[in-house]
Amino acid sequence: MKLRPRVLLLIAPAILVLAATAAVGQARPLATPDQVRELYTRLLPQIEKIPIFDHHAHPGFPDDPDVDAMAAPPGSSPLRERNTNPELVAAAKALFKYPYDDLSPEHAKWLVNRKAELKKEQGIAYFSNILDKLNIEQGVANRAMMADYLDSKRFVWVFFADSFMWPFDNHKETARNVDEQVYIPLQEKMLRRWMQQENMKQLPASFDEYMKFVTQVLEDNQKNKAAVAMKFEVAYFRSTKFGDPTREQAEEIYKRYVAGGVPPEQEYRTFQDYIFRYLVREGGRLHLPVHIHTAVGIGDYFSMTEGNVMNLENILRDPRYADTVFVLIHGGYPLEREAIWFASVKNVYMDSSLMEVVMYPAAFKDSLKQWLETFPDKITFGTDCFPYNDALGAEESYWLGVQTGRMGLAAALAEMVATGEVTQAKALEMAHGFLHDNAVRIYEGKVH
């Protein structure tokens, strides 16, 4: 039977949605709110069933200094990341059956005690159980060092590679502002730990030996410590615009300052430009993907212009690095709409972490939709969970990232299906890609 269009209009909204989703052909600019809501309600439970691979996170307890290679300087948090956010109460209720409706200091004590009890009871299963509750199959632990309380079946290590760029006297670097006073000494500490790991008492006098040491750490981390990628948070410490100096230039600077003396800023930067590019090249040779923090940062002195994701264009589009997989952590936020076009480069991927925590679901939906509409096979999901304090832990931030990620994803796809951009089947395939498949494909055989 052939229905005339006029008859179709009279049929119940649910059937209309079906008709809309089945339609093949020209996409429409508008859908009715009912169509979108209906599709959202249908897609969300299916999305919740997709096991997640979390591409960027800092799992750990708040008293563990290894959750990051840096620490938070004093500064202000955006609205949603403040501990006045009522969503955090919802998180504590969902994960720990928290009995109160606020996080007042007396009430928060209950939560701190409950977590301590569970930690004692469950040991190495504690964080795996949090993943189970959120249907995260496996996740990245981007940490200074891996923790023995994280089960290696569920957490894969991504280490920090910035410290190789700060081997000289850093007095001037540290003195720049109060943020650097926190960060730079921690980079020095990280470098000393790598030296210790390779049984090195002091930095080698020769540049050749220094570069060998850098490679040795990468290989050691990859082969003996199961690291799956290296991470840069360099935007916190200097510009992400990297020049292209020669080896001789870098060597000369190394020789001049390795034994002491404060390098002038320009010379230090030139040296770092060379080291950064060396690490990127090694990442290609070793099949060790390069994760780069690309977004606004915490602290009052994070430079948005110097740390701008667009500064990386000369690196990302350099054919010499075609073998290096780049993951733009935090998707260049708040320039994620521009940054997604880097995903047109075959070896560049985007990660959504942080975006779905600083943005509320409605705003995140819009950003994610634009990503889904351009390079859906190059976008990956991350929570950026972090133990902020005793009450607001990695646990609650896992929950917030996952919930917002799924809601934003379901809402974006509902709109795309309702306007005839994709079929429901295609939408679910995109959901699998974003939450799991696209990232897992990068680490073939190493993650699942």
| Binding interface with Zn ion (CB under 5 A) | 384
Residue with smaller CB distance to Zn ion, 57 or 195: 57
What are the residues facing 156 on neighbouring strands? 140
Report yes or no: 324 and 281 within 8 Å, Cβ to Cβ: yes
3-state secondary structure of 289: coil
Q: How is 294-305 classified by DSSP, letter by letter?
A: -S--SSS---TT
What are the residues facing 380 on neighbouring strands? 351
For the bound state, the minimum distance from the C-beta of residue 107 to Zn ion, rounded and expressed in Å, comes to: 28
Locate 116 and state its tokens. Answer: 């301590």
For the bound state, the minimum distance from the C-beta of residue 56 to Zn ion, rounded and expressed in Å, comes to: 6
Rounded-to-integer distance, Cα 382 and Cα 398, Å: 9
Residue with smaller CB distance to Zn ion, 77 or 374: 77
For the bound state, the minimum distance from the C-beta of residue 3 to Zn ion, rounded and expressed in Å, comes to: 53
Distance set, CA 277 to CA 57, 238, 252, 283 (Å): 25, 15, 17, 10
The residue with its CB nearest to Zn ion is 384
Report yes or no: 144 and 66 within 8 Å, Cβ to Cβ: yes
Residue with smaller CB distance to Zn ion, 20 or 70: 70
For the bound state, the minimum distance from the C-beta of residue 71 to Zn ion, rounded and expressed in Å, comes to: 13
For the bound state, the minimum distance from the C-beta of residue 142 to Zn ion, rounded and expressed in Å, comes to: 6
Residue with smaller CB distance to Zn ion, 384 or 396: 384
What are the residues facing 159 on neighbouring strands? 230
Residue with smaller CB distance to Zn ion, 98 or 398: 398
Q: Which residues contact 122 (CB under 8 A, 6 or more apart)?
A: 129
3-state secondary structure of 369: helix
For the bound state, the minimum distance from the C-beta of residue 233 to Zn ion, rounded and expressed in Å, comes to: 8
Residue with smaller CB distance to Zn ion, 21 or 352: 352
Residue with smaller CB distance to Zn ion, 263 or 382: 382
For the bound state, the minimum distance from the C-beta of residue 329 to Zn ion, rounded and expressed in Å, comes to: 6
Rounded-to-integer distance, Cα 250 and Cα 245, Å: 7
Annotate 334-347 with b (16+ C-beta within 10 A) or e (fewer).
bbbeebbebbebeb
